Structure 1
Amino acid sequence: MSDRFGARGSGGGNAFSRRRLLGAAGGVGLVAAGTAGFVALNGDDDGSRERGTARVTAPPPEGVLGANFNGDPSGMDFSQLREVSATWLRGFFAMPDAGKGPPADRPVIRTLLTASGRGYGTVLSLKFPFTRRPLPAAGSAALTAELERLDKVLPIVLDRVDILAIGNEPFIETRMEDRDARLNVFYETVARHVIAYRAEHFGNRCRTRLYMGALNRLDLPRGRTPAVERWMGFVRDTPSIEGVDIHPHLPSPGAGQRYLDYVLPRMRPEQRFLATEFSLVLLWKKHLSDLVPDAFAERYPGHRGMPVWMVVRNAIDQPFTQRKWDDFLAACPWFQAGKDFLRDQVEGFRRTGRLAVATYGVAQDAAMVRDFGPESTPWLFNSLFCPYTVLPGTGGLPGRNRTWTDAFRALQRT
């Protein structure tokens, strides 16, 4: 999700929190080495940690629930994926980073290629951030520069990642005045370029499937603009595109159905959809200024009379025990109202028979907790693992949100 609902993503963070996350596993080097340390540090606990040879067998992209690290893989490792039995992994890559050195050395791409080498299914979303500059016009030097950056990434990822989503959240990551046909022209140009590159260099042998991604706020009438309608028309009419990505970040548990009601009739019958991000973050946000429930305050008197956001701030400053974090979430009626969301939403996706891959957030990252306050977007309630608000557990793993980890594991298919 982009800055429209609150910053989240790559880089940064407080060194103490990062050391707290990695210290138990001897992983301080991960911060300095980026994902160069990812392979060596995050192997199996069965003795192959140094070798980094652990493999999984990913199922085909048919109704899969995988894990998502967005644009920052530094807070997750393979031990977390094993703990929840994940076999697919997704991240997004900000295209300006292709000009900052070899794309294969950038943390997001390196992590996904490492995962692919270990047998994980992989989804890479290409992010084109244009919130502070106009979209490049057809035939412009700016468009040529974008396509040249794209040509640095495509030879690295095609035929190595399983799914490439062309775009991350285009209707959020552009200026408001560009969210019309100009947006369509730009992304259609990019998509045709990717399709042509794949055909020229791989013919029919490329394993990478192409999707257009991702659409937001389809639960609202204002999210269904003529440009969104044209987007779906391009998906439907382009044989090389296998479907569309959606990001149902919702204000209520049942609102995700509106996304499906919109996109499914607008695709070819054989096309599928991705849901590489989905959550109840807009529901959580509405309750940040609620007072902490009495049941929690009675057990932990130091928090009596505090609003929810301040309790979270305290957990960021001095992480809770697992029991205390569990008690906090269990005491909040608004969180309990959504406790079955992950199960219900994934089952709803699967009932359509057209879900390829859905992915859910692996771990809290630095951007989620920075300057947390009453107006923050509480992404940190969505994560499977909670290194910034919960003390580490046994085996060096970070604390977790048991509501989600238990449901995630139960939703994995044999």
Structure 2
Amino acid sequence: MKAFVAAAAALAMLAPSAGRARVAAGPQAVASSGALGANYNEHFEDVDYRDLEKAQTHWVRIFLPMPQIDRDGAAGHGAVQTILDAHKHGYHTLFTLKWPYNRSAFPKAGSKEMKRELARLDEVLPLVVGKVDILEIGNEPFIESLKEDRGADLNAFYETMARHVIQWRKAHCPTACATHLYMGSLTRLEFPKDQTATTERWMTFVKNTPEIDGVDIHPHVSDIAQSKAYLDYVLPRMRADQKFISTEFSLIWWWKQQMKKPVAPAFARMYHLPSGTLNWQVIADALANPFGKSEWDDFLALSPWFETRRHYLVNQMKLFRDTGRLEVATYGFKQGSSMSADFGPDKDPWLINSVFAARSVHANPDGSAAYGYGWIQDFRALQR
């Protein structure tokens, strides 16, 4: 069984609504509102304009772990250089500032550590404000923090960062600034226990701060129906003029539930696999010795757990767009090094999401990455 092309007629109804656009030096200029772009997370090294052109997308998203600029300086960091290069190539750009505090407490106001964080901001902001389309303040605060710190200290830290960004933009990019500001992502909202006083204050800050254009959501879920909890939570808590972005979203926990299950019998027969071979073992083999594209396609196409959800991207984007409040969403674009390292039965299989299978499939003759199975046709159709 091979990949089949999604019906274009069904997808034509899902075109994004009109919104602001800018003249692009590289790809054709497109309306930003409701757009679907490419998310690279921290893997700036994976940006290849050939991939972006093949997917017909116009948005690039990268995040910067802020402590890393202490090593090379902000101007020398690959994430900064790459997002600015994408801007020069005419792409719309979304740049996320990430503060990893999952091993230490948030710094207190006036402390040496807080001054260090503000100094890092002062290195980055002159480079990106006025150039990137969206600057996001915080990546996944409720994951990138200690559990005991996910209260008032979390709010206080991120509000301090946001106010500093707002003041800097006001002073240095005061009128018609090209860079819009969004607060970082809310996660795990499908679980009522994670809708807390802290998330409530997060949304109150978003709503009451006129310089903030909206909030990010990351619905990494096991069932698409769970993503509705994110929309139900954030939309009533924002101003009418605010929108949401979704820089990450996926069925990661559904994929993970399948990893320790036996591979599809039809695939096992086709490729003469030993009895009892598990899905994660097939992926590990593909990472150790990349498959030909047809073999990777067969693995996923013959697996009901994937094939029945092959149009997840279309369905999720429809839920987002139907709100009329989506500014831009970016989807996991390319298998990166962190996804493939030490792959085993308990590894989160993020690489199944990827539009381009750079790690599990042989590269094309020109060295560019091969398409993954199931995503590229829908990804392209969603650009229209």
TM-score by length of 2: 0.92
Task: Find the counterpart in structure 2 of residue 181 from structure 1.
Answer: 152
RMSD over aligned Cα atoms: 1.3
Of 134, 146, 149 in structure 1, the residue corresponding to residue 105 of structure 2 is 134
Moved more, 382-391 or 93-102: 93-102
Aligned residue identity for 1:385:
F
Shift of 1:54: 6.8
Task: Find the counterpart in structure 2 of residue 367 from structure 1.
Answer: 338
Other structure's SS at 1:402 match: coil
Aligned residue identity for 2:336:
D
C-alpha distance in 1 between matches for 2:62 and 2:29: 17
Shift of 1:368: 0.5
C-alpha distance in 1 between matches for 2:65 and 2:38: 19
Task: Find the counterpart in structure 2 of residue 147 from structure 1.
Answer: 118
CA distance change for structure 1 residues 58 and 129 in 2, over 3 Å: closer, same or farther? farther
Task: Find the counterpart in structure 1 of residue 255 from structure 2.
Answer: 284
Other structure's SS at 1:302 match: coil
Other structure's SS at 1:231 match: helix
Task: Find the counterpart in structure 2 of residue 105 from structure 1.
Answer: 76
C-alpha distance in 2 between matches for 1:148 and 1:254: 42
Q: Deviations over 1:218-250 (max 9, x none)?
A: 111122111001000000000000000011101
Task: Find the counterpart in structure 1 of residue 327 from structure 2.
Answer: 356
C-alpha distance in 2 between matches for 1:324 and 1:119: 36
Task: Find the counterpart in structure 2 of residue 250 from structure 1.
Answer: 221
Aligned residue identity for 1:365:
G
Number of positions where the alignment pairs a residue of Structure 1 with one of Structure 2: 361
C-alpha distance in 1 between matches for 2:76 and 2:86: 14
Moved more, 154-163 or 334-343: 334-343
Aligned residue identity for 2:378:
A
Of 204, 210, 217 in structure 1, the residue corresponding to residue 181 of structure 2 is 210
Matched, 1:85 2:70: no
Task: Find the counterpart in structure 1 of residue 379 from structure 2.
Answer: 408
Q: Deviations over 1:319-377 (max 9, x none)?
A: 11111111100111111221111001011111111100100111111111111111110
Of 311, 321, 334 in structure 2, the residue corresponding to residue 340 of structure 1 is 311
Residue correspondence of structure 1 range 223-238 to structure 2 within 5 A: 223-238=194-209
CA contact (8 A) 1:298 1:304 kept: no
Residue correspondence of structure 1 range 104-123 to structure 2 within 5 A: 104-123=75-94
Q: Deviations over 1:40-98 (max 9, x none)?
A: xxxxxxxxxxxxx9711342430010001100122230000000001000010010122
Task: Find the counterpart in structure 2 of residue 201 from structure 1.
Answer: 172
CA contact (8 A) 1:368 1:379 kept: yes
CA contact (8 A) 1:67 1:361 kept: yes
**Structure 2 residue runs without a partner (length 5+):** 1-23
Of 40, 49, 53 in structure 2, the residue corresponding to residue 69 of structure 1 is 40
TM-score by length of 1: 0.85
C-alpha distance in 1 between matches for 2:32 and 2:244: 10
C-alpha distance in 1 between matches for 2:275 and 2:332: 31
Aligned residue identity for 1:337:
T
Task: Find the counterpart in structure 2 of residue 387 from structure 1.
Answer: 358
Shift of 1:395: 4.2
Task: Find the counterpart in structure 2 of residue 190 from structure 1.
Answer: 161
